[in-house]
Amino acid sequence: MHDGTPHFDALLPPAMAQRAEEVGVRKAAMPAITLFVLAVLAGAFIALGGVFSTTVLADAEQMLSYGVARLLAGVVFSLGLILVIVGGAELFTGNNLIVMAWASRRVSTLSIVRNWTIVYVGNFVGAFSTAVLVFASGQYAFGGGAVGASALAIAEAKVSLAPLQALALGILCNGLVCLAVWLAFSARSAIDRVAVIVAPIAAFVAAGFEHSVANMYFIPIGILIKLYAPESFWTASGLDPAAYGDLTIEAFIANLVPVTIGNVIGGTLLVGAVYWFVYLRPAVTSGRG
């Protein structure tokens, strides 16, 4: 019986699963225009995490070991998901957990496809627009071109991945992202949410896993720098645009497709389906009754 005393303990996994299901139902029923605007915001938020991470990585590996530099980049990149979860936005990779409501037959297949499609497009608009804005600001030229050099190196590494490798890295990535979202379902406060988000996100970035929405920023900003940065940038940074021949729109698409598929597999099967089976499948819920 509830005694009126406020409770601050984190929710336990069975209650988290119920919350995840309810959230999935609400997300699937959201009006299209609202969903799209919140998806644009999420794309921009993840891109801002990318801006932060790229800036921090500038010249970092010359002063720090590879692992420490990647850890630092991952910690600051977590800004993106913090803004999404605490600020309120719709992220394609996190919304893969709607599969829990779908498995309980509270969300139709058409509704989940509708949500993912609108959110994916909105995320792209937000992330790509942020890349254009960041390029227009000239921020990539800061630090004597070190920020732009970091952005180019990140983008080049991503488009150089083989399709199977990109797929596997996408699966691993969204396993961690959806675990961060899953842990946030336990939270009672904004501080709780921030605390549980940082470690899984820092882990996926440090490990070099691939996130489709993040790549909607990281690769376009590299392409924009390669194609349109002035000669002064190349002189200051000591780089040659000819060295980035793999940075093309075709290569961007070739990366995005397997990474997106991998993200869906990692989020829906490795996290959503597993927790649904453990806590929400009919045999479990009827047993509680």
Query: Per residue in 256-270, pLDDT tens?
Result: 999 999 999 999 999
What letter does residue 209 receive in the DSSP assignment? -
- Residue 1 has a pLDDT of 42
- Residue 276 has a pLDDT of 98
- Residue 61 has a pLDDT of 74
Report angle CA 194, 196, 197 to the nearest 5 degrees. Answer: 65
| pLDDT under 50: residue ranges of the chain | 1-2, 5
Torsion of CA 235, 238, 239, 241, to 10 degrees: 20
Q: How many CA atoms lie within 13 A of 29 on its CB side?
A: 9
- Residue 181 has a pLDDT of 98
CA of residue 222 relative to chain centroid, distance: 18
Residue 72 in tokens: 């630092």
Torsion of CA 80, 32, 174, 198, to 10 degrees: 30
- Residue 9 has a pLDDT of 73
Residue 111 in tokens: 């509704």
- Residue 179 has a pLDDT of 98
For the chain, domain boundaries: 13-279
- Residue 8 has a pLDDT of 62
CATH code of 13-279, in short, is 1.20.1080.10
- Residue 286 has a pLDDT of 62
Cα first-last separation, the chain: 17
- Residue 60 has a pLDDT of 84
